[in-house]
Structure formats: structure tokens, C-alpha cells
């Protein structure tokens, strides 16, 4: 079974646009769980332009599904995650000013750095995942870092899906097979939506979790949050 983790960054972006606490990030996260989401994802950045560090600490004690914190492993991020002790931390190689995640880790160049960071999280029994391109070499080297899972960066799949879905999915199928042989759990995320999610789910072996934020929150403007979450959950069946 593939879990749906809802990324609520965009809810925080809307709140921050006017100040105050509307919409209430914690309430929306709890509503997502109530409507069927099997996890909540947040990606706090140093400038706190959407999710704030305080949000992470407020969410952690009240969530009942899986809590996934994404981010670049700066010292302040590491300390935040160790304080919150979520179910999972997903490491991304974002530079501080990037608009959104746009590349996976080079697990050859950064292997020793990742080993050290992952070792620290695992000493606190926090499951780790590494955000990565569907590159077989990078996946094999990810296994050497000690990570539990990799999260496939699916932007290229989403971009190429409308023109040739079979070509778009091919490299991800190969990556999934390599991850499985390396003993790595498999997550995926970035630009997955109601049009392309089911085909990805149906063709990727061993897919444990998808993290979806931007598209899902946009769809919720039209369909409502509860209905939208149900629509996404349906894509992860059959």
C-alpha cells in the first residue's frame, strides 16, 4: 500500500501573506488526517517563508499519522528535527534561496556528509530518506550513506508525462528496481497530480509513499479539501 502524505507548505504560505493565523496550519493538518491523509509533510526553510520552525513544534505532538520533515540539513534544521523527533526526515540539497526543490543529492560527492547527518538522525531512531534523481549510480551510492529510503524527484516524469508516458516512466521504473535491490525503501514526490499519479503508482514497484503539496492544495480550491484528498487516495488504488 502506498501512503499519501500531504505537504501543507502552501497553507502556511497563504497564512503568512496576511499575518495572523488564517488559515490555521495545525487545524488544516488535522483536517487532512481526518479526511484520510496518511501522513503530513512540511519543509521549513531558513527564511520561514511558509512553514515556520514553531509550526513544526506545534504540529508534532498533535498529529496521529506519519510526520515527515523535509529540508536541507543545516545545523539549525538538524536541531529542529531532533527536537521534534518525527517519524521521518527527508534530506534535500536545497540552497537557502531556492524557490522549490529542483535537484536530487549527488550521493558520490556528498556521501561522507550524508553519512554523518544520517547517523545522527538514526541515533535518535528517526527514519531517514534522501531526495534523489532517478539515477542508478546515485541510488546505489545512497545505500552506502545508511539511509533507510530514497525519495525519487519526479519533476521530469511530470513534465514528460503528457507527451509520452511510457518514456517518462521508464527511468523511474529502473531506479525503483535498483533501490529495491539495494535494500532501500522508496518514496516519491514533486509535481505529481491527479493526471499523472495513478500511472506512476501502477508502474513503480515497491512505492511506499508519495508526498504531494502544490497540486493537491490547488485542486482543493476547486473541489474542497476533503474531496480532493479522497480523489488522490483513489489514484493510489487498483
**For residue range 75-118, what is the model confidence (pLDDT) as tens digits?**
999 999 999 999 999 999 976 555 455 689 999 999 999 999 99
Three-state SS at 33: helix
Instruction: Indicate the pLDDT class of residue 238, thresholds 50, 70 and 90.
Output: confident
Q: Verify whether residue 43 is a known catalytic residue.
A: yes
Q: Verify whether residue 226 is a known catalytic residue.
A: no
List, in order of start, the domains of the chain with CATH numbers.
3-235 (3.20.20.70)
User: Which H or E element spans position 214?
Assistant: helix 214-223
DSSP letters spanning 88-116: EEEE----TT-SS------TTTTHHHHHH
Active-site residue identified among 43, 50, 151, 209: 43
Q: Compute the distance between CA of residue 165 and CA of residue 34 in angstroms, rounded to an integer.
A: 33
**For residue range 4-59, what is the model confidence (pLDDT) as tens digits?**
999 999 999 999 999 899 999 999 999 999 999 999 999 999 889 899 999 999 99
Q: How far is CA 40 from the centre of its chain?
A: 9
Q: Compute the distance between CA of residue 83 and CA of residue 7 in angstroms, rounded to an integer.
A: 20
Active-site residue identified among 33, 38, 151, 190: 190
Q: Verify whether residue 190 is a known catalytic residue.
A: yes
Active-site residue identified among 33, 38, 70, 209: 70
Q: Compute the distance between CA of residue 186 and CA of residue 150 in angstroms, rounded to an integer.
A: 5
Instruction: Give the pLDDT score at 137.
Output: 96
Amino acid at each position: 500500500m502506498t501512503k499519501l502524505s500531504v505537504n501543507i507548505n502552501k497553507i502556511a504560505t497563504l497564512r503568512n501573506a496576511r499575518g495572523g493565523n488564517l488559515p490555521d496550519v495545525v487545524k488544516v493538518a488535522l483536517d487532512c488526517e481526518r479526511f484520510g491523509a496518511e501522513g503530513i509533510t512540511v519543509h521549513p526553510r531558513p527564511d520561514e517563508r511558509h512553514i515556520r520552525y514553531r509550526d513544526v513544534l506545534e504540529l508534532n505532538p498533535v498529529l496521529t499519522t506519519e510526520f515527515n520533515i523535509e529540508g536541507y540539513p543545516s545545523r539549525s534544521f538538524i536541531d529542529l528535527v531532533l527536537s521534534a523527533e518525527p517519524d521521518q526526515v527527508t534530506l534535500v540539497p536545497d540552497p537557502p534561496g531556492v524557490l522549490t526543490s529542483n535537484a536530487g543529492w549527488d550521493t558520490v560527492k556528498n556521501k561522507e556528509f550524508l553519512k554523518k547527518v544520517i547517523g545522527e538522525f538514526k541515533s535518535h531512531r528517526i527514519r531517514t530518506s534522501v531526495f534523489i534523481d532517478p539515477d542508478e549510480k546515485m541510488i546505489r551510492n545512497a545505500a552506502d550513506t545508511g539511509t533507510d529510503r530514497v525519495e525519487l524527484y519526479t519533476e521530469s516524469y511530470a513534465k514528460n508525462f503528457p507527451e509520452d508516458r511510457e518514456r517518462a516512466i521508464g527511468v523511474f521504473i529502473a531506479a525503483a528496481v535498483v533501490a529495491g535491490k539495494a535494500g532501500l525503501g522508496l518514496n516519491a514526490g514533486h509535481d505529481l497530480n491527479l493526471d499523472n499519479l495513478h500511472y506512476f503508482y501502477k508502474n513503480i514497484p515497491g512505492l511506499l509513499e508519495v508526498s504531494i503539496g502544490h497540486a493537491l492544495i490547488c485542486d482543493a480550491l476547486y473541489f474542497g479539501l476533503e474531496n480532493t484528498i479522497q480523489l488522490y487516495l483513489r489514484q493510489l488504488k487498483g
